[in-house]
Chain A
Amino acid sequence: MTVESTAARTPRRAGSGGKRASAGASAGTKKSASTKKDVARGKGAAQGGEPELVQLLTPEGERVENATYDKYVADITPDDLRALYRDMVLTRRFDAEAVTLQRQGELGLWPSLLGQEAAQVGSGRATRADDYVFPTYREHGVAWCKGVDPTLLLGMFRGVNHGGWDPNTNGFQLYTIVIGSQTLHATGYAMGVAKDGADSAVIAYFGDGATSQGDVAESFTFSAVYNAPVVFFCQNNQWAISEPTEKQSRVPLYQRAQGYGFPGVRVDGNDVLACLAVTKWALERARAGEGPSLVEAFTYRMGAHTTSDDPTRYRRDEEREAWEAKDPILRLRAHLEAEGHADEGFFAELEAESETLGKRVRDVVRSMPDPEPMSIFENIYADGHALVDEERAQFDAYQASFVDAPVNAAAGGEVK
C-alpha cells in the first residue's frame, strides 16, 4: 500500500466515485454535527459574511471556475497535474516512512504533514527557483518542491544535527522550531531582496497557532511598512497541538491582513490547484512591487501534532473523518481519472516509485552516523572564540584520559 493514511484508505475501500460523493455528503452532515467549533470559528464570518474559500477542485475532484484565480493555472497541462499528484503522493509516502521510523526508534520525533500535502505542494510549486522559503518544522512537502533531499530533513529529528542542509543551495531555510520567529527573517530577507532590486519573492510558512505570536504580528507590520516582497503562507490546520483555532483568534485568520493594509485570502488548503493559483497570485504581486499578502490555507492536520502527541485527548474522530472526505490526494486523483489524464500504469508506476523512496529513506536514516563528541565545539562562531577553544582542548584531554577510548579522542582532537 503506497499511502498509509486512513484518509487514503477509506474511500479506496469504498471503491467507486459514487461512494466518494456520498462520503462528501456524509462529511457535510458531520460538519453540521460539529457545529460548536464552526460557530466559534465563524464569529468573524457572522459579522462579515461566510468566509470566502478559494477552491478550484471540489472534494470530488470537479474543476470549478474562479474568475480571479483561474488565470494563474490557465496554462496547466495534464503533465503538470500528474506532477502535482506525484509530489503529493511521494511527500505523503516520505512522511509516513518518517512516522514509522520514529515508531521504530530511528527518529526521536516526527511532525507529520499528513493532510497538508496540497497546501505545501501547491504553494511550493508556485515558487520560482530564486524565491526563498522560510519554513516551520513541518514543511516537508515544500522542501520536496524546492529540491531538498528529504533525507536531509531527518537528521534533526534523529538527533544528529539541528538542521544541517545548506539553506542557500535550494533557497530553503532551516526548519525553525520556535513558533513564528522565521516570519521576521523572511521579512528581513525580503527587505534585502527589494534593496537589491531583484524580482525574487520570499514566502514564510507558519501555522494557525503562530498567528498569536508577536513576531508574526511584527512581521506583518514591518513587511507592510517597507512593502517587502513576502508572502505569508499560513497553514491553518485547525489545531495548535491541542488548541483549536478559536483559541487563537475570533476572526478568520486571513482577515488579519486587512488591519495591516495588505490583502488576505483564504484558500482551500486541500485543493492543490487552488493553493498553486493563489500562491502564484501572491508571489506575482510581491514581484511586481505590490508588497506582502497573507494566504490562509484552510486545511487539517490529519495526524498528531508530532509523534509525541495524542490527539484523542482533545479532538473527536468525527472531525477527522469529515476531513478525510476532503483528502487532497484523492481529490486530484478523482480529477485525473475523470478527465482521463492518468491511467492505471501511471498510478502503478508511482506506487513503485513511492516504495523505492521509502526504502531509500529507511536506508539513509539507519546508516546516519552519530556526530563525533568533539563536534559539539564546531561552528559555534564563524570567527572563533577563546572559551570554545579552551573548553574543546580540556574536553579533548579529558576524553584522552580514558585508557579504553584513546582512538576516538585522538580523532576528535584533530577537529579544529
Chain B
Amino acid sequence: MAVKKLPIAKAINESLRAALDADPKVLVMGEDVGKLGGVFRVTDGLQKDFGEDRVIDTPLAESGIVGTAIGLALRGYRPVVEIQFDGFVFPAYDQIVTQLAKMHARALGKIKVPVVIRIPYGGGIGAVEHHSESPESLFAHVAGLKVVTPSNSSDAYWMLQQAIQSDDPVIYFEPKRRYWDKGEVNTEAIPDPLHKARAVREGTDATLVAYGPMVKTCLEAAAAAEEEGKSLEVVDLRSISPLDFDTVQASVEKTGRLIVVHEAPTFFGSGAEIAARITERCFYHLEAPVLRVGGFHAPYPPARVEEDYLPGLDRVLDAVDRSLAY
C-alpha cells in the first residue's frame, strides 16, 4: 500500500511528480518554481529531477505565463501553471477569461486547452497586501472554467491528478494556510470524482458548507457545537464550478438549516449562489434562511486584524445560533 502521511504542500508536490512522471506532455511553469522550488516549496526538487525543459522558471509576467501555457496546450502539452499568490493572478485574468475559458467553445469543440492554474489562496498567514485573497467567485462566474479547491492532503493529491487529466481548464486553489497540515494520502486509491462534494461530518441540526481552508474551521466549530449539544453536518464542497448541489441539497433536506462559510467576501460570493439555489431546491425543507459567514465588503485587511476579518470558530457558531433561533 502506498499510504503516506503528508502535509498538503507535499501532497501537491507528489501529485505533480506523479503527473510529470506519467505523461511527458505535462509541464510545470511559473515564477520561481524551478531552482527555488516555489516560494512555498510546493515544486521542490521537480526541476532537478525533470529538467528545466519541463519545470520552467518563467519571466515575471502572469499574463505571459498563462498566455504561453495556452499556446503550449494548443501544441499538445498539458501545462500546470503556478501563480505565486492569489492577488497576483489579475494580470493573467484577461488571458484566463477571454482566451482560456472560451477557446474550446470558439472552436466549436475542435480544440482543447487543458491548462491547470494552481493558485495558493486565502489568508491567515500574516502576509502583506495581495497575499491573502480568495478570488474563487471571479473564476466560478466564468463559463468554460472549472474551479476546485482541496481541503486535505488526499484531495490535494488526487484532485490535482484529476485536474491535470481533465481536457478543460481548471483553476486549482490551494489553501495556503493549511499547506503544512498533515493527512494520509493513498496514491493507489480510487479517488472520488473531481466535482463531487463530500459530507465530512454527519449531523442533524444544521449543515455547514465550506471548502478549502474553511473546512477545518467548520469541523472545529462542529466539534465545539457538539459539546453544547448541537449536531452539525459539515459538507466539503471540493469543487466550486461545477458545484455539487445534490449533495448540499441532500444534507439540507435532512437538517433544514444551512450556513455557508468561506473566506471570500459574502457579497456576490459563492455562498450567495448556494443560498439562491438551495432555496429554490428545498424551500419547504428550510427551517431558516440560508446564512453566510465570510469576508466583508472591504479590501483584505492588514495582517494584525485579519483574524477579525476571517471567519473563525466563533463567527461560525454565531451564525449557527442565529439559524437555530428561527
Contacts and interface: CB of A to CB of B under 8 A. Distances in A.
Contacts of B73: 188
Specify which of A178, A183, A185, A215 lies most central, judged by the most chain B CB atoms within 10 Å of its CB.
A185
Given A192-B77, A222-B68, A383 B95 contact: no
A385 B104 CA distance: 14
A163 B112 CA distance: 14
Contact of A381 (B53, B72, B74, B144): B144
Specify which of B53, B67, B77 lies most central, judged by the most chain A CB atoms within 10 Å of its CB.
B67
Nearest to A195: B53
A385 B64 contact: no
B108 A188 contact: no
A386 B64 contact: no
Contacts of A214: 61, 63, 91
Interface in A186-240: 186-193, 195-196, 214-215, 218-219, 221-222, 225
Interface string A370-390: 000000001111110111100
Given A178-B94, A192-B77, A383-B168, A185 B67 contact: yes
Contacts, number: 145
A142 interface: no
Nearest to A228: B68
Contacts of A193: 75
A301 B95 CA distance: 28
A189 B71 contact: yes
Contact of A174 (B67, B72, B107): B107
A164 interface: yes
A158 to B, nearest CB: 15
Contact of A221 (B64, B166, B243): B64
Contacts of B91: 214
A254 to B, nearest CB: 21
B146 interface: yes
Interface in B91-112: 91, 94-95, 98-99, 102-112
A181 interface: yes
A184 B70 contact: yes
A219 B71 CA distance: 11
B67 A380 contact: no
B106 A174 contact: yes
Contacts of A270: none
B203 interface: no
A167 interface: yes
A210 B243 CA distance: 38
B68 A191 contact: yes
Interface residues of B, number: 47
B195 A218 contact: no
A166 B110 contact: yes
Interface string A137-174: 00000000000000000000000011111111000011
Interface in A348-406: 378-383, 385-388
Given A178-B94, A184-B67, A192 B111 contact: no
B105 A185 contact: no
Contacts of A225: 59
Contacts of A188: 67-75
B205 interface: no
B159 to A, nearest CB: 14
Contacts of A189: 71-72, 74-75
A386 B244 contact: yes
Given A163-B108, A195-B53, A380-B143, A218 B76 contact: no
A339 B123 CA distance: 74
A381 B168 contact: yes
Contact of A184 (B53, B71, B144): B71
A168 B111 contact: yes
A185 B110 contact: no
Contacts of B143: 380, 388
Nearest to B246: A386
Specify which of B53, B68, B103, B106 lies most central, judged by the most chain A CB atoms within 10 Å of its CB.
B68
A385 B242 contact: yes
A196 B242 contact: no
Contacts of A219: 64, 67-68
Contacts of B144: 380-381
A378 B75 contact: no
Given A188-B75, A225-B59, A378 B70 contact: no
B223 to A, nearest CB: 31
B184 interface: no
Contact of A164 (B99, B108, B166, B241): B108
A135 B181 CA distance: 47
A187 B65 CA distance: 10
Given A218-B64, A381-B104, A386-B242, A196 B75 contact: yes
Contact of A168 (B104, B105, B110, B114): B110
Given A181-B98, A383-B167, A218 B59 contact: yes
Given A178-B99, A221-B59, A380-B143, A187 B71 contact: yes
Contacts of B114: 382
18 contacts: A163-B108, A178-B94, A184-B70, A188-B73, A188-B75, A192-B76, A192-B77, A195-B77, A218-B59, A218-B61, A219-B64, A219-B68, A222-B68, A378-B105, A381-B144, A382-B104, A386-B242, A387-B241
Interchain residue pairs A-B with the least CB separation, the first 7: A188-B71, A184-B67, A192-B75, A188-B68, A218-B64, A382-B167, A379-B109
Interface of B: 53, 58-59, 61, 63-64, 66-77, 91, 94-95, 98-99, 102-112, 114, 143-144, 146, 166-168, 195, 241-245
Interface of A: 161-168, 173-174, 176, 178, 181, 183-193, 195-196, 214-215, 218-219, 221-222, 225, 378-383, 385-388
